[in-house]
């Protein structure tokens, strides 16, 4: 008997064939047709391939590609605009710098045109930021620069011819003051540098206040500044500075010249603290000589020197020196170092002298005292001391504005005398005062300020 098999499939228009074993018995039914043929009815499950969704994804992908290409074109366009903007902004900056360089050019500037250009720049930056839908330091920097320029334009516009005339008058006054200061300085320079052919100090000039210390903090009350008293070749213009909020001596900074000192651009800062050896000191009366810092060592109580060339240190105990007697203005000023045309010195007090000031000459090669002189003044009544040509000068406070050199001791003749050489001390007290034989100036550290004085000597 011959049979023909007819399969009738009931399913969606699009479908995928399933393996025969996945066709459950419930999905297949059979019957016999009118001609005796066998008819099987197969019902496939609706797990067909989503061709319609694939087509939709392809359409979306094409659309996104077009959008990305459009945004890339915009970015290229904005990049070109940004380059133009930065170039124009740079040109405007140069224009403003030219204007600022000469007061007479203020009145010639078209201020309104500048404002229009600045507003255009700001609009372009805003457009860029909005179009890119992002923020970055570059945009913020542009905004800040534009605002700063707008403020400069406002300030410049405030200058008119009358203001310029006032400025010229003030410049003329300043020039006269500078000339007077120069003449005064020339008047004080009456003895050749390094010479001791004079009769000692005649008077001290007005305080010259350089500026606040390099830390820009009046809290750095303790410290000192000045020049090397016997500089190494090539270091003649070097300045130094050291300060702290207490009497601890740790950091010492050196500057190649006065300009670097004022600009706070240290060539190098030395740290006296080392984990292997603590070389920190105490007090304020330290100096630099031959690129070596001479200062009061903390433990044990002794004099110390730190060679900044080799960055090595050593100390020596000063025989009989006491740490109980300090100067009037500050504690821990037990050893006071000084240098003059004749060498290196240290002042202190002893228990045997009952607190009276003792002066010692230091043999620099041996780093030991070579000779000692005892004075008659009580150290705690003294505010500071310094040496000039082998003569000790001691100061004391007169009032809140006035200091006085009141005592001298000549180591050559062993003669002492009481004098009265008043000078202005800028602020009410100071912690460091030393003479420098390389320029014949007194250097004072006064409540965080750099102060100096010219010295005029008596004729020999």
Write out pLDDT tens, residues 134-161: 566 666 666 677 677 767 766 666 655 5
Domains and CATH numbers, the chain: 5-43 (no CATH), 51-157 (no CATH), 198-457 (2.120.10)
- Could you tell me which residue, 186 or 141, shows the higher pLDDT? 141
- CA–centroid distance for 114 within its chain: 34
Neighbours of 453 (CB within 10 A): 21
176-184: Cβ within 8 A, 24+ apart: 184/454
What is the mean pLDDT of the segment spanning 18-44? 60
Residues 422 and 398: beta-carbon distance below 8 Å: yes
Sign of CA dihedral 70, 72, 76, 82: positive
Q: Are strands 432-436 and 441-446 parallel, antiparallel or unpaired?
A: antiparallel
Beta pairing partners, 41 = 8, 29
What are the tokens at 281?
């000191």
- Could you tell me which residue, 170 or 273, shows the higher pLDDT? 273
Render pLDDT for 64-78 as a digit per residue (tens, 0 to 9). Answer: 777 777 777 777 766
**Percent of the chain surpassing pLDDT 70:** 65
Residue 272's nearest CA partner among 239, 294, 301 is 294
DSSP state of 34: T
* Integer Cα distance of 226 and 143 in angstroms: 44
CA angle 230, 234, 238 (to 5 degrees): 60
Neighbours of 348 (CB within 10 A): 23
Residues 395 and 381: beta-carbon distance below 8 Å: no
Render pLDDT for 92-133 as a digit per residue (tens, 0 to 9). Answer: 666 566 555 554 444 444 556 666 666 666 666 666 666 556
What are the tokens at 389?
């040509």
* Integer Cα distance of 229 and 291 in angstroms: 9
């Amino acid at each position: 008997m011959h049979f023909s098999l007819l399969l009738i499939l009931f399913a969606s228009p699009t479908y995928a064939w399933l393996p025969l074993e996945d066709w459950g018995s419930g999905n297949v039914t059979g019957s016999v047709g009118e001609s005796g043929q066998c008819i099987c009815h197969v019902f496939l499950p609706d797990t067909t391939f989503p061709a319609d969704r694939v087509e939709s994804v392809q359409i979306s992908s094409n659309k996104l590609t077009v959008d990305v290409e459009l945004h890339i074109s915009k970015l290229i366009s904005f990049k070109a605009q940004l380059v133009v903007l930065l170039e124009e902004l740079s040109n405007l900056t140069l224009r403003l710098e030219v204007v600022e360089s000469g007061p007479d050019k203020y009145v010639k500037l078209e201020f309104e045109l500048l404002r229009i250009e600045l507003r255009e720049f700001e609009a372009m930056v805003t457009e860029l930021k909005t179009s890119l839908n992002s923020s970055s330091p570059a945009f913020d920097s542009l905004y800040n620069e534009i605002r700063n320029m707008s403020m400069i334009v406002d300030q410049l516009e405030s200058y008119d011819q009358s203001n310029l005339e006032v400025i010229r008058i003030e410049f003329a006054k300043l020039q006269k003051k500078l000339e007077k200061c120069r003449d005064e300085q020339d008047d004080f320079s009456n003895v050749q540098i390094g010479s001791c052919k004079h009769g000692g100090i005649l008077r001290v000039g007005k305080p010259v206040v350089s500026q606040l210390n390099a830390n820009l903090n009046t809290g750095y009350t303790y410290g000192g500044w000045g020049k090397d008293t016997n500089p190494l070749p090539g270091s003649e213009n070097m300045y130094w500075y050291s300060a702290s909020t207490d009497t601890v001596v740790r950091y010492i900074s050196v500057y190649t010249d006065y300009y670097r000192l004022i600009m706070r651009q240290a060539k190098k800062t030395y740290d006296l603290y080392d984990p292997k050896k603590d070389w920190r000191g105490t007090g304020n009366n330290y100096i630099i000589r031959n690129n070596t810092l001479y200062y009061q060592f903390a433990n044990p109580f002794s004099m110390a020197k730190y060679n900044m060339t080799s960055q090595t240190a050593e100390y020596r105990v000063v025989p009989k020196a006491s740490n109980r007697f300090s100067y009037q203005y500050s504690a821990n000023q037990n050893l006071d170092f000084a240098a003059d045309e004749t060498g290196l010195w240290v002042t202190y007090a002893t228990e045997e002298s009952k607190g009276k000031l003792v002066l010692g000459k230091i043999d620099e090669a041996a780093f030991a005292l070579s000779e000692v002189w005892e004075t008659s003044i009580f150290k705690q009544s003294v505010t500071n001391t310094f040496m000039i040509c082998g003569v000790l000068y001691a100061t004391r406070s007169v009032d809140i504005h006035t200091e006085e050199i009141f005592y001298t001791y000549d180591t050559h003749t062993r003669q002492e005398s009481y004098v009265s050489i008043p000078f202005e001390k800028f602020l009410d007290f100071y912690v460091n005062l030393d003479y420098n034989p390389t320029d014949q100036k007194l250097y004072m550290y006064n409540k965080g300020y750099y102060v100096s004085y010219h010295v005029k000597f008596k004729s020999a």
